[in-house]
Amino acid sequence: MSKSRRRGAPPARRARSWMAATQPGLGELAADDLRKHGCAVEGVENDGRSDLVVFSSVELPPPGKLTLVEDLFVIVGQAATGTEPRRVTARLFNADDWLAGAEIAKSYGVRVTAATGFRVIARVRSERAFKRTELRSAVIEMVQRWRPRWRVQDPADLEIWVLESRNGHFRASMRLSTAAMRSRGGRAVEFAGALRPTVAAALVRATGTPTGLLIDPFCGSGTVVGEARQAGWTVFGSDADPAAVQTARVNEPGVEIVVANSDDLPVADAAAVAVATNPPFGFQHEPRTLGRPLEEWWRANLAEFARVVQSGGRVVLLHPNDELLAAAVRSTPVLREEGRMSIRTLGQQAAIWTLRRC
């Protein structure tokens, strides 16, 4: 028996504080995912741009399992109050905690050396007390006193985030994830204004348990199709724009994706268990109504979605809280609204509409 075994099992590693960032509105769903992986969720906060899930765990769940999370951080400091940047920074800094955070970042593949490059991202909820640029400068000054050979870079090997996650409460953390987590590894071809993978994953989540065919009739570059396939659905995509269909075929090879109008799908009655889709809206995209009033276009689309979805299945849409859509839902008797979840994506307010096929 080895010497270590004679002394008994090694001491358990202590739980650490972590933070997960996602799109505004998805924080509670991301928190539920973290709980399922054994994490102790402390709460969901917001720094004005992202929902932040603060949690503790001995180690992070595998990032590939967290489809609603865009970034992961190890927390290295917290300050409950502060009205002056250097005072906030002093309260955030503890050499042992920052050193431990740097070692954790290194273990997750972040390049941390004696002369590493670093970047500071600072966010405040209001600039009445001081500006975020002042906070950023104070953090850079503190880091360079702690590690004189570290140099400011952009982009940088190491990112240090200091966020006012709720009024008067600041957290300092080191980013462990890369852009590959936000883009789910990236797509071969990208469209401007393409749907964020986390939002697509939330749409797919709202459809329920993967049990058959899921259709995306506004597939764009294929983001929803890809997330649904990874979740276990059999998938079919279509779009009225041939260029979008070609892009989606490149991004999701092997998936059947065709050119078709959303209100005339080449799918048999009740062939699908669910529809999950992002109809055009916002500054960059407008629906192709073929000259029809928008409410009439919506009624035609909802009737078609109801035709292809079996009884008990769901139709899940990403769209603003639009009265025209609400009126079209009310005029489609076989679809019953189950709920709307407000989110913010690509700088716009929207909602995930969940409809049940009667």
pLDDT of residue 187: 67
242-264 pLDDT, tens digit per residue, is 999 999 999 999 999 999 999 99
Q: What is the CATH number of domain 197-357?
A: 3.40.50.150
Residue 111 has pLDDT above 60, yes or no: yes
Residue 282 has pLDDT above 50, yes or no: yes
Question: CATH 3.40.50.150 region(s) of the chain?
Answer: 197-357
**Cβ partners under 8 Å of residue 145, min gap 6:** none
Q: How many CA within 13 A on the CB side of residue 38? A: 7
Confidence of residue 284 (pLDDT cuts 50, 70, 90): low
pLDDT of residue 192: 63
Q: What is the largest CA-CA distance in the chain?
A: 81
Instruction: Compute the distance between CA of residue 143 and CA of residue 114 in angstroms, rounded to an integer.
Output: 13
Higher pLDDT, 179 or 312: 312
Q: E-assigned strands of the chain?
A: 16-22, 40-46, 51-57, 71-79, 117-123, 151-152, 158-166, 169-175, 213-216, 234-239, 256-259, 272-277, 309-319, 335-345, 348-357
pLDDT of residue 75: 98
Paired sense of beta strands 256-259 and 158-166, if any: unpaired
197-241 pLDDT, tens digit per residue, is 999 999 999 999 999 999 999 999 999 999 999 999 999 999 999
Question: CATH 3.30.2130.30 region(s) of the chain?
Answer: 3-181
Model pTM score: 0.91
28-83 pLDDT, tens digit per residue, is 999 999 999 999 999 999 998 999 999 999 999 988 889 999 999 999 999 987 67
pLDDT of residue 191: 66
pLDDT of residue 6: 41
pLDDT of residue 11: 45
Sign of the CA dihedral with 117 first, then 86, 43, and 124 last = negative
Question: Average pLDDT of the chain?
Answer: 91
Residue 94 CB coordination number (10 Å): 14
Backbone angles phi and psi of 346, in degrees to 5:
50, 35
pLDDT of residue 82: 66
125-141 pLDDT, tens digit per residue, is 888 889 999 999 999 99
Confidence of residue 286 (pLDDT cuts 50, 70, 90): low
**Fold classification of 3-181 (topology level):** VC0802-like (3.30.2130)
Stretch 142-166: mean pLDDT, rounded?
Answer: 96
